Each structure stands twice: as structure tokens, then as C-alpha cells.
């Protein structure tokens, strides 16, 4: 069954309205008609089974048959703060795969060693939306506007656990071992640096803000590999 997204404001009691690009895909690509069943999410943890009740110009009115909460969502809320990369395609890939793995929010970040670049925010949001639907999730990750390293670190108090993987961390702080000591944490921030790594000053600031250094193994990993490795450990191990 095909999977569609609706804005929460378009869920109106026993019906929901599919509009915009989702409507175009519904009617012009998939050729759905009145009476066809669809799965829909509002991107806020709610999934609907619905049947198309009426088709009008630019919108499909659907009758809601069943409602489920938190479908295919991990129990832990994970936010990934990651440096922009020189190759924009690698950030696109990271947003797509991070969404598939269950990340709750993504914060593109500029660190001291980040190669100057500008992220295409609207494009990243579209990638997250597509990946949410493809993976059957019921929550649409929030892709933040570009932030500085300092802003992310200084506003991290809301997270029960703050992790910062980097190559200088001792193997005794392997991510799997660290997570065993924080099994009750319900929210995690993972912060991953640029190709050149974090500076000593950045690591010191993170330590002051109670970030826990973790190792992802003895090999040097690309930024996107490190981010997805850490995310997989956290989502799968807590």
C-alpha cells in the first residue's frame, strides 16, 4: 500500500485532505481513484489507514479508517548534529540514511574546520520527507537551519545524553560500552565533526558541557560513516 504525507492541519476529525505534490503523486502517477485505500502519516507520530472518499481539483478527501501512534519509531529520541561536508551529495546521503535509521532531528553545523559551504535547507527537508515515506516511519525528522558548533553545544541541556565521537578517544570508551552505562536515557544528541575533525578547543568546550567522548573503533571514518555508525549503535542499543 502506498504511503503519503499530510500536514497535521489537514487532519480534520474523521477525514484528512491530501494536497500539493502528494496529491499529484496520488492521482497523476499512481492513478488512485475513489474507493482506493492509502496509508498516510502526519509526520508527528500518527499513521492513518484511509480510503479515498472524493477527488477534487488539487485535493483528495479521505475517510480515516484506523489510527496508530508511533509506528516504526524507535523508543529513544536521537538528534544528529553534523558538520557540513565539502561534497553536498554526502550530506544528502546522510540525511536520507539517518532518516531511515530513525533520527528524530538533524542539525547541519559549522565547525572551525568545516570547509565553507551553504546547505540547501529546502532540499534536505524534501530528502527527509521522501526517506520517511520510503521507510514507513510516522515521524518526519526536523531538519534545522544551519547552526554554529558553539550554538549546538551551548543549547544541549535538554538531552539526557550527549555523545561526541572523535578519533582521539581511547578504545575503552567504545560506543557500545558507553551506552551500557546510560541505558535509561530517553534523548540523545550525537555531534559529529568535519573531515578535519574537531579542534582541541571545540573538544574542551564540549567536555565542559558534559558531552561524553566515544570511540567508533580503531579505523578513521568519514564524517557520514561515523554519523551513521553512531546512530545505528544508539538506536539499536538503547
Average pLDDT for residues 104-129, to the nearest whole number? 92
DSSP category for residue 139? B
- Which has more pLDDT, 117 or 108? 108
Looking at the fold, whether 147 and 215 belong to one and the same domain comes out as yes
Could you report the per-residue pLDDT of 200-229, keeping only the tens digit for each? 999 999 999 999 999 998 888 999 999 999
Q: In Å, how far are 71, 194, 231 from 24, measured between CA atoms?
A: 25, 39, 34
Looking at the fold, whether 93 and 206 belong to one and the same domain comes out as yes
Which of 81-85, 110-114, 165-169, 182-186 is predicted with the least confidence, judged by mean pLDDT? Answer: 165-169
pLDDT of residue 42: 98
Could you report the per-residue pLDDT of 46-66, keeping only the tens digit for each? 999 999 999 999 999 999 999
- Please calculate the CA angle 43-97-23 and round it to the nearest 5 degrees: 40
Residue 14, number of CB atoms within 10 A of its CB: 11
Looking at the fold, whether 22 and 130 belong to one and the same domain comes out as no
Looking at the fold, whether 213 and 97 belong to one and the same domain comes out as yes
Looking at the fold, whether 115 and 56 belong to one and the same domain comes out as no
Following DSSP, what letter does each residue of 7-36 receive, concatenated?
A: -GGGEETTEEEEEHHHHHIIIIIS---TT-
Q: How far apart are CA 166 and CA 174, in angstroms?
A: 11
Question: What CATH code is carried by the domain that includes residue 128?
Answer: 3.40.1280.10
- The answer to whether residues 57 and 16 touch, using CB atoms and an 8 Å cutoff, is no
Q: Which domain holds residue 218?
A: 77-237
pLDDT of residue 218: 87
Amino acid at each position: 500500500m502506498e504511503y503519503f504525507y499530510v500536514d497535521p492541519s489537514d487532519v480534520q476529525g474523521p477525514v484528512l485532505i491530501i494536497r500539493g505534490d502528494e496529491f499529484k503523486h496520488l492521482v497523476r502517477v499512481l492513478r488512485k481513484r475513489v474507493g482506493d485505500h492509502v496509508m498516510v502519516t502526519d509526520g508527528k507520530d500518527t499513521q492513518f489507514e484511509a480510503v479515498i472518499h472524493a477527488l477534487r481539483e488539487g485535493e483528495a478527501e479521505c475517510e480515516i479508517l484506523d489510527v496508530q501512534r508511533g509506528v516504526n519509531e524507535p523508543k529513544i529520541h536521537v538528534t544528529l548534529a553534523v558538520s557540513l561536508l565539502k561534497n553536498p551529495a554526502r550530506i544528502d546521503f546522510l540525511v536520507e540514511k539517518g532518516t531511515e535509521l530513525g533520527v528524530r532531528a538533524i542539525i547541519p553545523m559549522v565547525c572551525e574546520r568545516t570547509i565553507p559551504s551553504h546547505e540547501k535547507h529546502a532540499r534536505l527537508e524534501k530528502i527527509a520527507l521522501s526517506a520517511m515515506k520510503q521507510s514507513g516511519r510516522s515521524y518526519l525528522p526536523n531538519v534545522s537551519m544551519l547552526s554554529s558548533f558553539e550554538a549546538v553545544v551551548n543549547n544541549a541541556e535538554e538531552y539526557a545524553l550527549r555523545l561526541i565521537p572523535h578519533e582521539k578517544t581511547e578504545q575503552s570508551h567504545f560506543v557500545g560500552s558507553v551506552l551500557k552505562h546510560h541505558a535509561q536515557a530517553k534523548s540523545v544528541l550525537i555531534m559529529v565533526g568535519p573531515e578535519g575533525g574537531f579542534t582541541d578547543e571545540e573538544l574542551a568546550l564540549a567536555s565542559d558541557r558534559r558531552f561524553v567522548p566515544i570511540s567508533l573503533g580503531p579505523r578513521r571514518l568519514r564524517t557520514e560513516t561515523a554519523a551513521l555508525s553512531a546512530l545505528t549503535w544508539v538506536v539499536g542499543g538503547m
